[in-house]
């Protein structure tokens, strides 16, 4: 019996030694991956993820380094959180990271990646990028749609003036979302959603639900044996959302096609107002077009415009107003600048922005601390080497825009709201920083070929709206010593944890014309 026991002990020791030796040899012979915490079987590092992913990644990066390797379930991922690593990934080795990762939610909402944001890199994507930059979101189209942006600004200011005179508080997050939604709606289909309050509520709810789902963790996307299961009910919810979304967009396209048909019959086709759906239909009907746009391509474009432009712009403005309320001295300085340049006989306009450097600095500081998309997702299409580490093909990349904007090696007092750091007269290079991805410690709209094509529209909207809110009103909040809580909430974008409810106080009376 003793001999059997000794034999079993020897066998167990031999087995354990063999397993450890093979693991050691395999590790030594495998390509060197970036550092990271110990992964668990099946779930990988999912147990480490908190509800706010970019904050979790920042904490892990502070421990393991600016480039870390994680397994989210069975999906290999790397997280970049320093300007140097971001530059290497998005500039030096950009050709290896030109795809977007595909998820259940993005496949449903973009008709199988037939949009611009999630389309695989290739001929179609290049065609669409050129289309966005030259027609859909190009300078000429933005100039033509200037009256639309001006109208929506006036709607918001008039609404706030009524509330101020009544002494009522306002949920500014909801109102800024309503304004952005109406603006995109008029750009896309030439009418305000809020003309039909039921339709407006439906659109806002769709945008909110899709953004919320996109930012949530779905087991089907990360754990291989759950791929065809719907344990969390995502697909069931998506079927309902997609049906509502598709029905709304089908109606928009049908109305546009009917309008075009009637004008063609009366030989007045050239008189149609060119909103973005009309531009897309023109391209789809153009036999000489480089590529043929399908109906699903058009619908996916409309989804992109509503989802990407509405939520991010509204959140940037909401964070901006929150910061200004918490820093009344900065609010006063901005108001003085606007008064000296614009006066009090008219409301600030987009053409005034180049003459308002402090306002521009405020907008940049908002985007540094509260970037619209705190994490930029990419996926490697081929094996590559980053800072001496091996990154295999099909590795998901998260570029932490949020972290690089708070890097203490590049920003003095990185957690403080200091617009002065962006003023040219401060004598530093930061005064000249642009938002378009050339400076890798400041990437609010991404960088490279996959950078945000709506940067110009977003800047116009955020800067002009904040200027008008500063010029026309003072702002007060109840409780909390008159300050706004700045806690972040979970999501794909950067929502606030709590609604910004505040009271406008009329600063210019009566409200001047635009």
Query: b/e for 264-302, b at 16 or more Cβ within 10 A?
Result: eeeeeeeebeebbbbbbbebeeeeeeeeebeeebbbbbb
Straight-line distance from the first to the last Cα atom of the chain, in angstroms, rounded to the nearest whole number:
97
Other C-beta atoms lying within 10 Å of the C-beta of residue 22: 10
Tell me which H or E stretch contains 475. Answer: strand 473-476
To the question of whether residue 86 is assigned a binding role by annotation, the answer is no
How far apart are alpha carbons 105 and 51 in whole angstroms? Answer: 18
Contact 323, 417 (CB under 8 A): yes
Sheet (strand 375-379) strand order: 67-72, 75-80, 396-400, 375-379
Contact 378, 393 (CB under 8 A): no
| 51 contact partners, CB below 8 Å, separation of at least 6 | 490
H-helix segments, 215-327:
219-222, 234-265, 276-285, 295-304, 310-326
Kind of pairing between the strands at 384-386 and 67-72 = unpaired
Q: Which long-range contacts (CB under 8 A, 24 or more apart) does 27-31 make?
A: 31/390, 31/392
Total Cβ atoms within 10 A of residue 240: 10
Residues 6+ apart with CB under 8 A from 455: 435, 436, 445
Cross-strand bridge partners of residue 376: 399
Tokens of 399: 């570029």
Dmax over CA atoms of the chain, in Å, equals 103
β-bridge pairing 67-72 and 75-80: antiparallel
Whether the bond between 191 and the residue before it is cis, its omega within 30 degrees of 0, is no
Binding residues are: 452
Binding residues for heme are: 452
């Amino acid at each position: 019996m003793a001999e059997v026991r000794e034999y079993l002990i020897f066998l167990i020791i031999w087995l354990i030694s063999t397993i450890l030796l093979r693991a050691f040899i395999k590790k030594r012979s495998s390509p060197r991956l970036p550092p990271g915490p110990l992964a668990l079987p099946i779930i990988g590092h999912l147990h480490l993820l908190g509800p706010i992913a970019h904050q979790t990644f920042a904490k892990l990066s502070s421990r393991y380094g600016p480039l870390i390797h994680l397994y989210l379930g069975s999906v290999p991922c790397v997280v970049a959180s320093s300007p140097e690593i971001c530059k290497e990934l998005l500039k030096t080795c950009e050709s290896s990271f030109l795809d977007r990762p595909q998820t259940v939610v993005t496949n449903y909402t973009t008709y199988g990646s037939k949009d611009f944001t999630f389309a695989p890199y290739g001929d179609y994507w290049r065609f669409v990028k050129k289309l966005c930059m030259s027609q859909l979101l190009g300078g000429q189209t933005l100039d033509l749609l200037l009256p639309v942006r001006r109208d929506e600004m006036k709607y918001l200011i008039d609404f706030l003036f009524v509330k101020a005179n009544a002494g009522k508080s306002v949920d500014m997050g909801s109102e800024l979302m309503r304004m952005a939604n109406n603006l995109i709606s008029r750009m896309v289909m030439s009418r305000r959603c809020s003309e039909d309050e039921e339709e407006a509520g439906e659109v806002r709810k769709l945008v909110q639900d899709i953004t919320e789902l996109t930012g949530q963790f779905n087991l089907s996307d990360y754990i291989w044996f759950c791929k065809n299961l719907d344990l969390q009910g995502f697909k069931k919810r998506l079927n309902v959302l997609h049906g509502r979304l598709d029905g709304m967009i089908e109606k928009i396209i049908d109305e546009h096609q009917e309008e075009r048909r009637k004008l063609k019959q009366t030989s007045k086709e050239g008189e149609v107002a060119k909103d973005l759906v009309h531009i897309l239909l023109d391209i789809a009907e153009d036999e000489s077009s480089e590529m043929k746009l399908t109906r699903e391509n058009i619908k996916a474009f409309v989804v992109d415009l509503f989802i990407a432009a509405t939520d991010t712009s509204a959140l940037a403005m909401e964070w901006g107003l929150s910061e200004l309320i918490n820093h009344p001295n900065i609010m006063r300085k901005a108001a003085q600048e606007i008064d000296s340049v614009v006066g009090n006989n008219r409301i600030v306009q987009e053409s005034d922005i180049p003459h308002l450097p402090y306002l521009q600095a405020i907008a940049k500081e908002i985007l540094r601390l509260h970037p619209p998309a705190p994490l930029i997702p990419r996926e490697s299409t081929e094996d590559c080497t980053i800072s001496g580490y091996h990154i295999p093909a099909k590795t998901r990349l998260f570029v932490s825009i949020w972290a690089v904007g708070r890097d203490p090696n590049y920003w003095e007092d990185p957690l403080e709201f200091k617009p002065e750091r962006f003023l040219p007269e401060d004598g530093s290079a930061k005064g000249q920083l642009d938002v378009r991805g050339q400076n890798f410690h400041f990437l609010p709209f991404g960088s490279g070929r996959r950078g945000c094509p709506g940067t110009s529209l977003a800047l116009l909207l955020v800067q002009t709206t904040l200027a008008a809110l500063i010029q026309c009103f003072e702002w007060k909040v109840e409780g909390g010593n008159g300050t706004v809580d700045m806690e972040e909430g979970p999501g794909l974008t950067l929502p606030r944890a709590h609604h910004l409810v505040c009271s406008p106080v009329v600063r210019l009376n009566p409200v001047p014309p635009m």
